[in-house]
Amino acid sequence: MELNEITAVENDCIQLLQEMIRIPSVNYGEGKGDERAMAAYVAEKLKEVGIDSELIETGPNRVNVIARIPGRDQTRPGLVVHGHLDVVPADAKDWSVDPFSGLLKDGYIWGRGAVDMKDGDAMYLAIIRSWARTGYVPPRNILLVFFADEEAGSEFGSHWMVDNRPDIFEGYSEAISEVGGFSITITGGHRLYVIETAEKGIQWMQLTASGTAGHGSFANPNNAVTKLSRVISRIGSYVWPERETATNKKLFGKIAELTGDVYDPTRASDLLKHIGGASKMIGATVTNTANPTMLNAGYKANVIPQHATAVVDGRFLPGYEAELESTIKELVGSDATVEMLVRDKALEVDFAGPLVEAMSAALIAEDPEGIPVPYLMSGGTDNKALADLGIVGYGFSPLLLPADLDFFALFHGVDERVPVEGLKFGVRVLIRFLENC
């Protein structure tokens, strides 16, 4: 791509992101979300450059967008490039700016979705629009997808699409999406670019303790609230053993090599001191985790309830689901029952092969001092659903970040923002990657 066109794509990306943030496509969970306006916006931006798209409604105001970009080599399996249209809620009173302003200030674009993940949406969309304007044809077929409902389990998004419209994905073998390819500056000033090759699995569980209902003034040794409190205390304070995964072996091995430290698989957490704010997420990937998140019991101050419930957010490492289940069962004991609310698989793919080589080469071309490495994400993406179709997914929406930016704190956080220069870097990397993958 010519330099002047690259500049045009960068500028288009910035404008697209600001306009997307101004469309509050908020997902409140429990089916309460609205991507309709965002989907219409994306479809219109594609139509402006002559690209047809399909809007797929999966529930009231729950809308997904797909567009097919033909490639030069029709014999090769295609690449799915996907993002999600929804964002989590934002309470304006907690922010220093309007969370839906898309404000350009201090070298950042501010607003809900700036990093999760309307920045990636804007980068993907800007590049595809440039191809249409200039007549460029990519090396292989590209399926551009913008899913609904990623922030609340993907029931109306990727899971619905995979279950009900698998035909859309026929002929596609690999995918890229969010939360990967961004920089982390570690001890010694080394700049790692972490490409997401693995995700923890999800088990959201409801615990129910039962006891004897009665008057609040009576002695009650069979109190459901007391039982549940014991269970929650045991789960919340449990120290999970550190476990090695193939991805973390490579990541922490490289960190140890660059910093002159030692990697012990049973104490990988000792190396977290080298990665600054990134330790929030990556630190959660050396063990299984189970966090109590919701409690519910009683309806009146002087009534002991018969039942008390809690919700626990469990996340398991690839290969360690059985450990999570058995440990929770042991910690709960006879004090409560466990009901599975949501379960989704863990993912892990090798950090090797032509697609990984193309991602790494694109990063190094824009930052010769950069070091591409794999990492394991503590959360999940729509790649989980695509994996049901045999599509191998990676997190790759690259950004060059200031060394002192606490990037992970911005996900679902207050004053979410993305650096403009980092966004431009991401556009250039993605152009190189998509035109050589």
| Alpha carbon distance 96, 192 (integer Å) | 31
Q: Which domains does the chain have, with CATH numbers?
A: 3-179+381-434 (3.40.630.10), 201-344 (3.30.70.360)
Omega within 30 of 0 (cis) for the link into 205? no
Q: Do 124 and 60 contact (CB within 8 A), yes or no?
A: no
Give the pair of three-digit tokens for residue 310.
């809690």
Q: Do 420 and 109 contact (CB within 8 A), yes or no?
A: yes
Q: What is the pLDDT of residue 95?
A: 98
Per-residue pLDDT tens digits for 192-217: 999 999 999 999 999 999 999 999 99
Q: Do 203 and 314 contact (CB within 8 A), yes or no?
A: yes
Concatenated DSSP letters for 194-236? EEEEEE-EEEEEEEEEE---EETTS--TT-HHHHHHHHHHHHH
Classify residue 399 by its DSSP letter: B
Q: What is the pLDDT of residue 370?
A: 98
Q: What is the pLDDT of residue 412?
A: 93
pLDDT at residue 92 is higher than 90: yes
Q: Closest by alpha carbon to 19, among 38, 5, 33?
A: 38
| Alpha carbon distance 172, 79 (integer Å) | 6
Q: Do 142 and 62 contact (CB within 8 A), yes or no?
A: no
Q: What is the pLDDT of residue 1?
A: 87
From residue 379, alpha-carbon distances to 52, 64, 82, 383 in Å are 33, 22, 17, 11
The DSSP element (H or E) to which 191 belongs, if any, is: strand 191-199
Q: Closest by alpha carbon to 28, among 156, 159, 120, 118?
A: 156
| Alpha carbon distance 92, 26 (integer Å) | 13
pLDDT at residue 21 is higher than 90: yes
Across the chain, what does the average pLDDT equal? Answer: 97
Q: What is the pLDDT of residue 215?
A: 96
Per-residue pLDDT tens digits for 136-171: 999 999 999 999 999 988 999 999 999 999 999 999
Give the pair of three-digit tokens for residue 329.
């069962």
Per-residue pLDDT tens digits for 233-278: 999 999 999 999 999 999 999 999 999 999 999 999 999 999 999 9
* Stretch 173-200: mean pLDDT: 97
Q: Could you identify the residue written with the tokens 């490639």? A: 71
Banded model confidence at residue 86, pLDDT cuts 50, 70, 90: very high
- Encoded amino acid at 367, one letter: D
Q: Do 395 and 360 contact (CB within 8 A), yes or no?
A: no
Q: Closest by alpha carbon to 278, among 406, 137, 131?
A: 406
pTM over 0.85: yes
Banded model confidence at residue 374, pLDDT cuts 50, 70, 90: very high
Give the pair of three-digit tokens for residue 225.
């609230």
Give the pair of three-digit tokens for residue 389.
């179709």
| Alpha carbon distance 336, 323 (integer Å) | 19
Q: What percent of the chain has pLDDT over 70?
A: 100
Q: Could you identify the residue written with the tokens 């990636």? A: 120
| Alpha carbon distance 224, 22 (integer Å) | 46
Banded model confidence at residue 342, pLDDT cuts 50, 70, 90: confident
| Alpha carbon distance 373, 370 (integer Å) | 10
| Alpha carbon distance 266, 14 (integer Å) | 44
Q: Closest by alpha carbon to 248, among 327, 176, 320, 345?
A: 320
Q: What percent of the chain has pLDDT over 90?
A: 97
Give the pair of three-digit tokens for residue 192.
């790692």
